[in-house]
Structures are given as C-alpha cells and as structure tokens.
Structure 1
Amino acid sequence: MVDVLLGLQWGDEGKGKIVDYFAPFYDVIARFQGGPNAGHTLYVNDKKVVLHQIPSGIFHENTTNLIGNGVVLDAVTLRRECETVNSFGVDFRKNLYISERTHLILPTHRALDKASELQKGNEKIGSTLKGIGPAYMDKTGRNGLRVGDLLDKSFTTQYIKLRLKHQKLLDSMNFHEDISAWEEEFFDALEFMRQFKIVNGEYFINDKISQGKKVLAEGAQGSMLDVDFGTFPFVTSSNTISAGVCTGLGVAPQKIKDVIGVTKAYCTRVGSGPFPTELHDNMGEELRRIGNEFGATTGRPRRCGWIDLVALNFACMVNGVTKLVMTKADVLDAFDELKVCTSYVVNGEKTNQVPFQMTRVAIEPEWKSFKGWKQDVTAMKSAAELPGVMKDYVSFINDYLGVKVAYISNGPGRDQLIEI
C-alpha cells in the first residue's frame, strides 16, 4: 500500500522533517510532483540540510528513494544536492532512482520563467524562477525532454530543436540574457546524471507494492497551491493534492491508504496571492521573527497569519486526509491570545466554503479567540505534558475538521514530535 504525506496550506508546512521522521517505517520514499521549488528542511547530525528534489528518505540507509514521473527535474540542482548528501557520508547512488518519464528542466525554461515574470510586472505570481512552469507547459504541450531521453543518441538533436523553439519565444518577449553559462553547467550535470539508476518508474513502484513493501509518497508545495484547486492563478504548475500521486507515480487509487496532512499551527505564504488570515501588524512580524519564516528555497520573508480553518477544511476534503500533523506549535508559546478563522464573510455573506476566485472578492475572516498557553513546550515529550489550553486549541481544530491531529511538532529537532 501507499501512504501519502503532503502539505495542506501554501507550502512551507515543515514536511521535510515529518517525512524524515516517518521514513524508517517505510521501504520506499517517492516524490510525485513539483521541482526544485520545493525546500524540505532536515537536520542531520544537528546540521541543517535543505532538499529540493531528492526524497527526504535519502539519509536512511535501508530506504529506497524514487523521483517519480510527475516531477520536473533540474539536473544542476540535483547534482549540487547529491554533493551535499555525499558530504554526510551517504552514497546517493545506492538508494536513489529516477523515473525515465520524469521531465527535464532546460536552461531555456529558466529563461522563459524569468521573461514571463518580468512581463507580468505588478501582476507577477511570485515564481521561484527555476523554470518549473515552462517545463510543465512543455510537458502538456508535448514538447518536453525526459530523463529517459538521455539514453538516446539523438538527445542533443532533440535539445537543439527545443532550444530554438524557446529562443523564438524569448525573442518575442524581448528577453536577451546570455544563458551559455547555464547551458555548460546543464550538460555537465547531465553527464553526472547518467550514473543514476534510471528506471521505468511505474513498474518499479508497483513491483515494490506487490512485494508488500511500504511506500510513502512525498508531496511538495501545499494543497492551496494545487493547479486545479489552489488560489488560481497564484498556484504552482502541478497537482499537489493526493490525486497527483496516481498520475505522478503511476499507482492506482485503490493502492492509497493513509493521507497524512501537514499544517502549521498558524499560516504562512511566500510570494503573491490571496491570504485571508494574513496579519499586517506587529503580530504578523512577531510570528515571522519567532518562527524564522523565511523561504528555504528563496530566502524570501514569508507572509504570516493565524490558522485558516476554512481553507484547511477544504484541503482535508479534496485530499481525503486521514490524520493531521501540526508543526511549529512551539512558535505560539509566547502569545497571550491566539485566533483561528472559522468562516469567511464574502461580499457581506457568511460562508464556510473557499470561493472560486479569491482575488475577485472581498474576504473578511470571522475569528474564534483562544487564550495562549504562555509556556515553553519545546522540551515536552508526551501528550500528557502539553498545556491544557494547547489541548483545547487542538481539540477545537479536530472537531472543526473532523480529522484528528495525530502528531504535534514542538521544535525543529528530529525528536521534537509528540504523538497524540
């Protein structure tokens, strides 16, 4: 069977640590969508490591790691990551596999991403400029190059053909940046990639399942950034929800068992786009400061706000979440009062539903207030030790969502996770 672990907000929920925690209980960790815009932060031997493309099980010796066909892969980023992993004494060649159907991000995809964002001006979506959107566009446009193409002797010819097509687009957008250095680095990284175990991913993963192996599908970004169900157009270019596992790995829906949803105890968002519970005051600044809310991939300061149960309930619904993990609960230790959004007032009408187009309507959140626990929870090891006020906060969320918080993260360390 396959369990799924994914984010329920706008990404940055702390999924890397949670996957790292669960990894020893699984035989295979598989990435099913997204690209190097993901930033999964782990702490290995008390050192911070950010993984962008390699599945978060790579530091566990007996865990197989698969980059699935739903991912778009940047060979240069992958090479750098492998070097980082290697510096910890981990042989990435042993347990890292790549699906031959995985699409490649080309240097011209990065250029197109940058050109497109520059053209948008004030309406830019906050892209990480890593070429992910254009790579997915080539995938749906049936132009893209895939990892399996590397093994074909006509790869360079295919590359030149696609590059020329991209160059015409760049010329039409009046973008003339020299990307020759990017190309040199790209082809060096492709040579590096040839040493990997490139596999027929769908047969590979289904063979593991038929052997009774336990598989954990690792999501990137968050559910509210899903290309279909997120805050469009301020979304990513892939399906970040649990349905993306089927198309991103080649597994049937009935093979999916548990869907583990990760949410912060509050809310954050990087870049542009709707954020109904965003705080524009000192409270938002305090959340950012205490939570060290800066992007793992971009370093950009994250927008901060109280937890949004309307959006969270929506994410639980479309994912079929069976259990919740609440991260960064310790960030709320210092606050006298906490708030949760229980409904929206949209154009004067109260609703518990996420609107179709959040950018076109005025959304006012309705709040329920809670007393802060005003207690350091970072050293606590069991649910029994948690403050009563904190349990009330979590209990209300459980009842509202109809899904239980099964784990609470009370710090960045591997051991700072309390099972409820």
Structure 2
Amino acid sequence: MKKNIVILGTQWGDEGKGKIVDFLSSNSSYVVRYHGGNNAGHTLVVNKKKIILHLIPSGLLYPNVIGIISNGVVISPFELIKEIKMLEENGYFINKRLYISPSAPLILPYHIQMDLAREKKLGNYLLGTTGRGIGPAYEDKIARRSLQIGDLKNKKELSRKLEIIVDYYNSQLVSFYKCKPIDYKNILKDLLEITDFIYDMIQDTTNILHQAIKDKKRIIFEGAQGSLLDIDHGTYPYVTSSNSTIGGVMTGTGLGPKNLDYILGVTKAYSTRVGQGPFPTELFNDVDHYLSTTGQEFGSTTGRKRRTGWLDGVALRYAVKINSLSALCITKLDVLDNLKEIKICTSYKNINSLENYNNFSNVNLNNIIPIYEVYPGWMKKTSGIKNIEDLPQEARNYIHHIEKIAKIPVDIISTGPDRLDTILVKKLFF
C-alpha cells in the first residue's frame, strides 16, 4: 500500500495524467501541482461530463481532497479565478480546500505579450509555445525579478515592483518587437480587484505538506506536460520551461525524495506530440488520421491537432531511467481496438546510442530512423473493460511487450475517458 504517489508523463505530455490523478484521488487527502502553469490541460470525464482543468489539481472533484498549488507552479491569477468559477458552475466547490504557495510566480499580461511577440518574430523557426506566457514567467523567476503570489498581500510593494518590471518589458516590446506598450496601472487595478478572492488561499504550502507527511496523510503529486518536455532532459530547445521529470517534485514543493513512495509513469498506448520538435515515430498516413480522430487528439489547452505516431520504446526506457519509475500506467488502449497490426519502436537505425534525449539538438534528425517490432491487433472492443482478465489476449500480449521493453510493470490500464474505465492491475492505496 503506497502513501505518497507521483504521477508524471513519460512522453511529450497529453498522456492522460489528469484522469489517473482523478481516479486515484478518491482515496487520497491531498493532490499537489508542483510545476508548470496553465499551459497544461487535464481533461476529466465524470458521468460522461467533461471538465478541463489547467491549474487546479485534478483531485479536487472529490469533496474530501485538499488541493495544493506549490511554489514550482507559475500562476495566472485571472485564469485561476476563472477556473474556480467554472468548477462552481459545474457543482464543484473548493472554498477552503485550495492552498497556494506565496512563492509561486505570477503570470501577467506582459508575459503573454512577450511570449506571442517572440513566436511571431521567430517565424518558421518558432518553438510552438502555447502562448500563455509560461517561458517569460519562468525567466523572471530565474532572473530574480518575479512578482509572486505573496506580493498580492502588500499593495504598496506590489505597485512599486510592478511598475519597474512593466518598464523592463515595455523597453523590449516597443523598441524591438514593435508592439504597443503595457500600462502597469491597468494591471495593478485588475490585480487589486481580484486579490481578496484568493487572499485566504495564500498559505505556507511547504509547511502544510510536511505536516501532512507527519500526520501520515495520503498525497498525490500531479505532474504536467511530459518527461520529454523537461527543460533539462527533454528534446531541447523544443521543451517547456520547468522540470517535468521527478526532480520537479522536490524543488517545486520543498519535500525531500524520502517522502516519495511510488512514481507512476503515464504512457499513452501510442505517441503524440503538440507543436514543433523531433518525433522519430511520427506517422503521416491513414493510421495518423485514425489515431487523431479515434483518440480525439486535439490539445485541451490550445485546440491544436496533435502529431501522432507509434509508441517509442527508446524514449520510454529513457523516461523510466531518468525518473526512477516504479511502474507504468497505459492509457488510451481502447483507441487501438480497430487496428490490424500495432508497432513499437525498439531502437533507432544509424544511431548506436542515444542515452539522453536532450542530445537530439546535436543529432542529425534525418538519421533517426525507427526500427519497429510488429504485433497483431486484437480487433475487439476494450473500451470500458475494468478487469485485465477480460482484455483480449492480443491486448494483454501488447501490454506484456511494453513491460519487457520498459523493464517495469504496468500497474494501471485506462480503457476509456471516464474515471471508471480503468483497470487496476495492482493495488496502490485502495
């Protein structure tokens, strides 16, 4: 029985982490977002009703769960409030159940403006960001000029700091990017109007979590994006601006590694990627169309069509290694139901060793040719199956092949978007 579980993505994001967090949260006390911002989108389906979250931890759909947005997250306060109100409209009330670290950096309009201006300037060489201001907000954090959530509690200091940083951004936006200047007074006015709404949520989240550990509470740490988008270990420069691998949990919360009992890597039964960057197993045929339409592969944050491909076993082994994964969760198995054959990339031709995926920037991408193993499809419905014994034998064989490639067990299998369409192969904290 596991107390504290980390749930993170092993691919380029969009693996279905939100559903798994939601599924496991019924038996937890806390769910913690520890990195990223509202560039993440976690889609939950409860009783056939879809809820999309971007900042709020997925487990808060259960009334017994407390949500934590920790210091590693960059927060748009306006988007946060919009999300809280959306939940209330859908019957989910999180008053006194959500706590926000005072050290979490703010995302403000000048970050978004800078993000969009840079992408436009890059033209055909754009990175494919979500345009949510995530990168510039993390830059401010590293440059030690961030406005933080805690600054909202001191109006005088907030005004002073805001004027300085808006002047810094305007000097670039106007002179170099030829954009209109940002008016810091408008931003200040908007911030002062919403401060009371989140004032009581601003708490020492590190202390709350340490007390929860002491009280032997069950905690889920919810990752955003995926391991191959990690700023240090992903396919640089086509990555996010935070650590989406396991290290982000410690730096993003203030908890040490000894407090983590189990690390679950969520892996789609095939591969997808949004935006630019290398994708060795990408498909450009009828299978791509099938996966896109059957899997509804469109970004929950941007709406962009995701690129699709076969499962990349080389990338999966890399994610297992750098995250010290305990086990895997395979999602969207049901999407493969109507394929006569299914492939897994097990190695790359012309590349003897690609130990680190951040080395993609130094590799001739034309040389990355995937070598596949081919498996028979099951051509039977798996959607909604809740016991592994009820899966077609070919589907069970496919899961077993993934286990052999990854060299760790598959403990959970998702067979549909609803929280109940889930096979729990191994008990976690149920």
Aligned to 1:325: 329
Are the aligned partners of 1:101 and 1:201 in contact in 2 as well (CA < 8 Å)?
no
Amino acid aligned to 1:357: N
Partner of 2:141: 139
- Superposition pairs of residues 113-124 of structure 1, within 5 angstroms: 113-124=115-126
C-alpha distance 356-95 of structure 1, shift in aligned 2 (>3 A): closer
Asked if 1:219 is matched to 2:245, the reply is no
Which moved further from structure 2: 244-253 or 178-187?
178-187
User: 1:96 touches 1:196 (CA, 8 Å); kept in 2?
Assistant: no
Q: Is the 8 A contact 1:377 1:386 kept in 2?
A: yes
Q: What does residue range 47-58 of structure 1 map to in structure 2 within 5 Å?
A: 47-58=49-60
CA distance in 2, matches of 1:232, 1:352: 14
Contact 2:232 2:358 in 1 (8 A): no
Separation in 2, partners of 1:182, 1:77: 17
Could you say which residue in structure 2 is the equivalent of 1:197?
Answer: 201
Q: Normalised by the size of structure 1, how large is the TM-score? A: 0.96
Q: 1:215 to 1:175 in 2, by over 3 A?
A: farther
SS in 1 for 2:401: helix
Compute the displacement of 1:285 (Å): 1.3
Aligned to 1:170: 173
> After alignment, is 103-112 or 356-365 more displaced?
356-365
SS at 2:6 equivalent: strand
Say if 1:29 and 1:218, in contact at 8 Å, map to a contact too: yes
Match of 1:127 in 2: 129
**Could you tell me which residue of structure 2 aligns to residue 28 of structure 1?**
30
For residue 46 of structure 1, what is the aligned residue in structure 2?
Answer: 48
One-letter amino acid of the structure 1 residue matched with residue 298 of structure 2:
F
Q: Distance in 2 between matches of 1:102 and 1:137?
A: 13
Determine the structure 1 residue equivalent to 2:264.
260
How far has the Cα of 1:386 moved from its partner? 0.5
1:377–1:185 distance in 2 versus 1, CA, 3 Å: farther
1:281 matched to 2:285? The reply is: yes
Q: Distance in 1 between matches of 2:186 and 2:269?
A: 40
- For 1:178 and 1:48, the matched residues in 2 are separated by 38
Cα distance in 2 between the residues matched to 1:356 and 1:46 = 39
Deviation at 1:152, TM superposition (A): 1.3
Q: Which residue of 1 aligns with 2:423?
A: 418
2-side partners of 1:137 and 1:162: how far apart? 12
Provide the rounded CA distance (Å) in 1 between the counterparts of 2:400 and 2:193. Answer: 49
Percent identical across equivalent pairs? Answer: 40
Letter in 2 for 1:20: D
Which structure 1 segments of 5+ residues have no match? none
Alpha-carbon distance, 1:129 to partner: 0.7
| Whole-angstrom CA distance in 2 between matches of 1:173 and 1:80 | 33
- Partner of 1:103, secondary structure, is coil
Aligned CA RMSD, in angstroms, stands at: 1.7
Q: Which amino acid aligns with 1:293?
A: E
1:380 match: 385
Q: Distance in 2 between matches of 1:189 and 1:39?
A: 26
Unaligned runs of 5+ in 2: 426-430
Regions of 4+ moved over 3 Å: 177-186, 192-196, 349-356
CA distance in 1, matches of 2:332, 2:190: 37
CA deviations 1:131-166 (Å, max 9, x no partner) are 100000000000001111111132112111111111
Change beyond 3 A, Cα 1:185–1:58: farther
**Alignment CA distance shift 1:186-1:343 (3 Å):** farther
User: What's the offset of the Cα at 1:312?
Assistant: 0.7
Q: 8 Å contact 2:234–2:358 — kept in the other structure?
A: no
